[in-house]
């Protein structure tokens, strides 16, 4: 006799969330994690810039990799918080739209260097567009809803610093 495995499995708990959503919620519950992420981002920025010339190359590479991954994580955190903001519906409409504009600008600023790299476009021209998008995310972070400020501000600063760190010869 064959049992149907779908009926015999235990039901999932009602509070189940994907791991990326749980990680983003952890930053809301523990503000110290946000301070830690911000501090690590600034230290990695210093280590991968001209300030870290005396550090070993492996440390500089690790700091640069962390800075790139941090920007992507902050964009993901901003989108998760935007969906929570829209579902709650308790924020003023203009702050919600500014937050959405900041998320789009931050995502565009992160994606643009990869598009330029794989499409063989001129970085000198598109670098200005990337810098403009990251500054737009930074300014939107100033006027966004309170929960959206951290990922948009730090994400805008991270991507803007990456624009200046990436040499033209790389792209």
Q: What are the average pLDDT values for consecutive 10-residue runs of the chain, which has 171 residues?
A: 51 59 62 71 74 77 84 89 86 91 95 88 86 94 89 90 71 50
Task: Render pLDDT for 45-64 as a digit per residue (tens, 0 to 9).
Answer: 777 777 667 778 888 888 88
Task: Render pLDDT for 114-132 as a digit per residue (tens, 0 to 9).
Answer: 898 888 888 888 889 999 9
- Assign 29 to helix, strand or coil: helix
46-55 CB contacts, 8 Å cutoff, 24+ apart: 48/165, 49/161, 49/165
């Amino acid at each position: 006799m064959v049992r149907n495995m779908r009926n015999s499995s235990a039901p999932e708990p009602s509070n189940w969330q994907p791991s990326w959503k749980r990680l983003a919620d952890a930053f809301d519950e523990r503000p110290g994690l946000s301070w830690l992420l911000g501090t690590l981002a600034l230290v990695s920025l210093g280590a991968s810039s001209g300030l870290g010339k005396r550090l070993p190359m492996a440390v500089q590479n690790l700091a640069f990799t962390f800075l790139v991954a941090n920007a992507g994580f902050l964009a993901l955190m901003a989108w998760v918080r935007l969906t929570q903001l829209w579902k709650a519906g308790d924020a003023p409409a203009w702050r919600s739209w500014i937050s959405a504009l900041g998320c789009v600008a931050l995502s565009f600023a992160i994606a643009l260097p990869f598009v330029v790299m794989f499409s063989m476009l001129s970085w000198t021209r598109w670098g200005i567009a990337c810098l403009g998008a990251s500054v737009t995310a930074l300014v939107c972070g100033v006027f966004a809803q309170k929960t959206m400020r951290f990922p948009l501000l730090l994400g805008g600063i991270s991507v803007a610093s990456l624009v200046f760190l990436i040499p033209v010869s790389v792209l």
